[in-house]
Amino acid sequence: MTLVFIYLLIAFFVFASSIKLLGWQRFIFTTQLAFFHKYGLNRTSMFLVGLIELTGAILLISYIVIPTKAWLLFAGAGLLGMTSVGALYFHFRFDGWKDAIPAIVTLSLSVLAVM
């Protein structure tokens, strides 16, 4: 079951980070950038968050390839969990709980992945 959580995290964060880094999906990119601007952050901050998300996903992919290296799982899920906590902070401070739902789900998946 843990692998299901890991695969879901990888799929979500490779997709999300690719938009933050490359801006290839215009509608989602502009929506996310508007959130970042609302929080007082800029495009560079969004790019850095995308790098952190991609790094976490790559660590999880590495864990699937080398399952004997448990630190890859903990590091990857930890990075993605911390990113989700940061998203929760900003969503609860500036938005409503409905905007925080994806971060709640990804934080839950990050915790379940290491259990």
Task: Count up the domains in the chain and report the number.
Answer: 1
Report the C-alpha gap between 29 and 106 in whole angstroms. Answer: 19
Residues 73-81, mean pLDDT to the nearest whole number: 98
Q: Which domain holds residue 81?
A: 2-114
Which two tokens mark 14? 């490779």
7 has pLDDT over 80 = yes
Report whether pLDDT(27) > 90.
yes
Whether the CB-CB separation of 20 and 42 falls below 8 Å is answered with no
Phi then psi for residue 24, to 5 deg, are: -75, -25
pLDDT confidence band for 82 (50 / 70 / 90): very high
Q: Is the pLDDT of residue 1 over 90?
A: no
Query: For residue 70, what are its two tokens?
Result: 């448990």
pTM: 0.94
